[in-house]
Amino acid sequence: MATGIPPKEMQKCKKISVSLSYEGKEAVESVLNYEGKQFEIQLPINGNGKNLFFFGDNIDALAYLLKQGYKNKIKLIYIDPPFATASNFVNRKQEHAYSDSLCGGEYVEFLRKRLILLRELLSEEGSIYLHLDNKMAFTMKLIMDEIFGEDNCRAFITRKKCSTKNYTKNTFGNISDYIMFYSKTSNYTWNRPYDPWEYDRMIEQYPCIDERTGRRYKKVPVHAPGVRKGETGKEWRGKLPPVGKHWQYTPDKLDELDAAGEIYWSSTGNPRRKVFCDPSKGVPIQDIWLNYRDSINQSQKTTGYPTEKNMDMLKMIVTASSNPGDIVLDCFAGSGTTLGAAFENGRYWIGADNSAESLKAVLKRFTDGLDVYGDYVNGMTYEQYSLDLEEKCPFTILTLEENESCVKKVCCIEKQQDEFVKYSNLGKAESI
């Protein structure tokens, strides 16, 4: 059992930052001065829109955005980068999607340079979520502290990623990964998310019923640890706070709560506060997420892209850390789940990926809809399922001249026609 730091030592304690040292670590100034490649080709999809998809190296895309006036404009960033697995990933058709070959210091620096540029793009009220597993999460926590500041770490979230594994022999089953939630400043956008109430849980947590209003409530102490010499340490209604404690509210506030019927008096005259249940809001979501697994059931609609994340999880993140009209960025776009969650909730989005399979998945998502997973084996194609969105999402593909033929080929294959992109009316992407 921890005994804590002796009081004398606490007086000497100073907050000393911790940093990670490794071969090849570039100076921040060098990273910020990265010029990047120029994206030459701009292809409007579903009409012209403010949403952007960069086909190419995401570090070039981030440098391009900074030059185009997006510095301090992005409200929310979610990234699900490679996990340093030393593996190749294929889509549902067993076609190569992407390689996850970097490891060690090379991996750390790869991600660190992009995080530095992402911080420049993030608004003062913005937040970033970094999704990793146990291979690199704890290493990258030091990098995130270094770039965004330890005090700006809002949560280190544990997510249950799959069902229980019964076949693990020599250790505990690996069913979790991690999401680091940081803000750029202390003044960040936050719309607290809730899980809906389950009736049995509500009854258990709020067992009492107020005689006057019929509302469910629970009883909580009106005192807190620590001695106070001010108003909260004074006598109230002839009672002093318990030894070593103080009232949570001033006597005037306690009188106000009592008058409003929010104080419960025991048979022995001890006060407790009534905390009422508000079923309309539900249960505040905590930092252990059990309801956002990636395992696919037979009714879910997906793109078939490997490592596709849970749409409900991304919708929750988007609505919690941004508002309608804000810009959401995912520079490891993959299947485009983040982009879809942003669009469905009235946000603009920017995505980037250098995988042709990612581009196919994003095109599928926003032009024809998704596969129902359970019917894929029966040969049914995604064209038979309409998009869940009310309208198709207009966006612009940006790419390098050297990748133009690849992009055009992907677009044509997905639509099974010779001319998917009309080159006659290509214009510059609309700035935000």
- C-alpha distances out from residue 391 to 101, 169, 343, 368, Å: 38, 49, 10, 11
CB count in 10 Å sphere of residue 277 = 18
pLDDT in tens, 210-238: 988 999 999 999 999 999 889 999 999 98
State whether the Cα torsion 414-417-418-424 is positive or negative. negative
Which phi and psi (to 5°) does residue 350 adopt? -130, 125
Residue owning tokens 């060690």: 104
Task: pLDDT band for 359, please (50, 70, 90 cuts).
Answer: very high
Give me the pLDDT at residue 97, please: 55
- Residue-wise pLDDT tens digits, 264-276: 999 888 999 999 9
Q: State pLDDT tens for residues 262-306.
A: 999 998 889 999 999 877 788 899 999 999 988 565 456 777 777
For the residues 238-243, what does the mean pLDDT come to? 90
How many Cβ atoms sit within 10 Å of the Cβ of residue 336? 28
Torsion of CA 55, 58, 63, 66, to 10 degrees: 80
Integer angstrom CA distances of residue 336 from 146, 177, 196, 350, 355: 29, 20, 27, 10, 12
Q: Are strands 371-372 and 301-302 parallel, antiparallel or unpaired?
A: antiparallel
Amino acid identity, position 61: A
Q: Parallel, antiparallel, or unpaired: how do β-strands 348-353 and 327-330 relate?
A: parallel
Confidence of residue 418 (pLDDT cuts 50, 70, 90): very low
Is-contact 63 36, C-beta < 8 A?
yes
pLDDT range class, residue 22, cuts 50, 70, 90: confident
Angle, helices 337-344 vs 311-321, to 10°: value is 50
> Tens of pLDDT along 360-385?
989 988 988 877 665 545 554 444 44
Contact 313, 293 (CB under 8 A): no
- Residue pointed to by tokens 């889509």: 91
Averaged over 97-120, what is the pLDDT? 84
- What's the mean pLDDT in 105-123? 95
CA diameter of the chain: 86
Domains belonging to the chain, first-starting first, are 37-193+286-425 (3.40.50.150), 199-276 (no CATH)
Q: What integer pLDDT is reported at residue 374 of this predicted model?
A: 52
